[in-house]
Structure 1
Amino acid sequence: MRTADSKTALYRRPRAHRQPRALYRHLLALFCAGSLTSGAYAATEMLDQVVAIVDDDVVMASELRERMATVNENIAAQGAEAPPEDVLIRETLDRLILENIQMQMGGRFGVRISDGQLDQAMGRIASQNGLTQEQFAMLLEQEGRSYGEIRANIEREMVIQRVQQGNVNQLIQISPQEIDNYLSTEEGQKLVQPEYRIVHALLPMSSDTSDSEVAQQTAYCETLVDRIRGGEPFESVMASVPAEYAFSGGDLGWRKLDDLPSLFQDVAPTIARSETADLFQSPSGLHIVTMADQRGGGDMTINQTKVRHILLKPSEILTDEQARELAEALKARAETDEDFGELAREYSEDIGSATEGGDLGWTSPGQMVPEFENTMASTEIGSISQPVRSQFGWHILEVLDRREKDVTEDMRKAQVQEFLHSRKYQEELDAWLRQIRDEAFVDIK
């Protein structure tokens, strides 16, 4: 058995000795001889063989065959020109080796993908194709592909993604100064601009259109605006227009203010979500403009609640019913002459807040589990709630105060931080992948 040092010493051999071109030429020869090609494999069952040793695992010829088949299918589907086969084999094997390293890391780190998470991932893929999971599975079978294999591949991708995120995210540090510096740039200011999704309709008019015709067309367009403002969907209203009115336009998609056509840059900030602007005329004709949606920008405030609680967890020595009864008893004691904070220090099983008298500070919408949040919202300031059951156990809550908080600047900075993080992520990922590849023991057969 090799020691760690001997393995490292073996690995540290010069790269040309570990991965000479002759090895890849050997793999190409195997392809040409038929031991790796899918067609020959189908005609004559070949014995599988190891093509690479990767730390404590191996890459088999069957894996390389299957991946090569997928790569070639993708290249053909895209209508692209395939690289030379020896290059394709080398790149595909290198990718399999790198994935193998990461899967081994996932095993050591205990990364697991639950059936529920896999079901959700498969469901998203099916819905993106306009199918149910059952329809998706049937379609795959009709195409001669295995639903189980696709599911296994998705699981593999999810494990690798978690391994990458867990290792790379900790390498990315973004300081408050970086955020402020970026916000002060023109690019940063554009990033935090609001985004608008506008739908519009244009009724073209030429410069020689008569005044009476302009008046008639304007009056008709005004009726359409009134119908949209009255609650009829924009699309339905425009679909009902007679063919003699040759409207053009449609959905502009999500756009920053600076990316909107200049014609709409003055209009967009003046209308709220779902509102329709007043009909206006340009040299091109008459415009009907509706704000389908908008996000970001403007002042943002949220309602926050200052709350403290006592958590009682059912256990082997405390049944669920006993925990509820104890919660009711503590509520009664707190409503008489005992201090809620002292009761929380003595009884609460929420380690994080018990020493603080159950104080959770100012909480924002979405921060707590739904059962807790709903109870908190329905409890008056200065009152103690009825016991409520959540996934964590039984709670009683005391609402201390409520306020509106302006989070505009916090949201802007969070948006910039997310952008800077994503921009750094690929660079750090590439460097990390090179590092783990260099540190692994790889022996290509």
Structure 2
Amino acid sequence: MKHLRYVPGLVARGAALAAALAAAGLPLVAAAQDLRGPLGAAPAAPAAPAGPRNMSESVAAVVNDEIISTYDLAQRMRLLIATSGVQPTQENLPQFQREALISLIDERLQLQELRRVEKERKINIVADEEDVDRQLGELAQQSNLRPEAFVTALRGQGINPDTLREQIRAEISWRRWIQGYYGSRLRIGEDQVTLVQQRLAAAASKPQYQVSEVFIDANRVGGMQAATAGAQQLVQQLQQGAPFPAVARQFSAAATAATGGDAGWVSPGEMPPEVDAALEQLRPGQLSAPIPVRDGVYIVYLRDKRGGAGGTLVNLKQAAVALPQGATPGDEAAARVKLEAIRTQATGCNDLEAVAGRAQGVVAGDLGEAEVSDLIPAFQEAANQLQVGQISQPVRSPAGLHVLAVCGKRAAGAAQLDREQIENRLYGQQLSMIARRAMRDLRNSATIETR
């Protein structure tokens, strides 16, 4: 069985940093240059090369007696801002600070737990310097930079390279543990695969949605109220132009965070009922409002929608003469003569536009692919009756008179996933859930003090 590789997302977020550094200098606005700790500690030097820590730094949090300093927090905020695609403002800096602190706390808990396991079982889990160097080298390569130039670019953004190194170390180590300890024991049963196949078959006639998602885990951020408030801020930032993939990589707790929130094509029943209901109301290109579910809040972006397997998709071209509803019989007859001449001369889709282009007052163009049921009734009738390559008789619409050429016709809906694809999807989903539960248990059993 070939399973999906579980990637919590931090290395993928590093790839976003690589892209940001490859761009022509990512400026941090003045608001981001005043990165203060929770107690109003002195800010880190704005956009200056990262140097020694300030001796006056204070404590931002204590995790099982291990300190997270305000310097650590300010540095992680800089890294987060550089990778999220969100322009920092005084309004959203608290959200950056909260996310940066949560990430740092989680990483401390992960490394503490892994070092405990290493000592107890006398095995090596925590990534060494060679592992981290190898990952940094890959990030540099993605930026078309040598490792030395990559580090220089980090410093140019006011980011101490050690900040990224520690993030990578925690990610590699935690992924290694989750995959090795839990993933090796995880089995996807035939009954689980069969159940998914049956559900997909039952939904085959229903619309399918191409979705990108962000999931805010309420357990991670401190409850549903905090998750909802955070999701509302993210929606505002997305509406203002923040790139969805970058926001998903930085803020989403779903397994799809590693791929920029891309959940692919989903059918009704694959996502929580609340999300299904929201998708029914969205049009392609629309972003949802925050969607509360049992254990968190979703934001979904509907990239595309297609009909179920019972529908038919048709690709049309047209030649048309504009005619208002109140056109005289003479005007309509003249238009019909022009279109009949075009219909006689054209052989099909390949030359319809060229032939129409020689007739005065006739416009032609490609109408693209659409589900037949979405067409106006007059077009539906022509699309259903014609074979591929045929041209219709003149068809009247409120806008004018048209001849339609059918350039393609196919059944709607995608092919069903095979068993291996279903196994891979279930494996990735269940391993992601196991990782979230493991983190929840670590938080619940830890002593965490924020200041």
TM-score, scaled relative to structure 2: 0.42
Which structure has the larger Rg over C-alpha atoms? 1
Relative to the length of structure 1, the TM-score reads 0.42
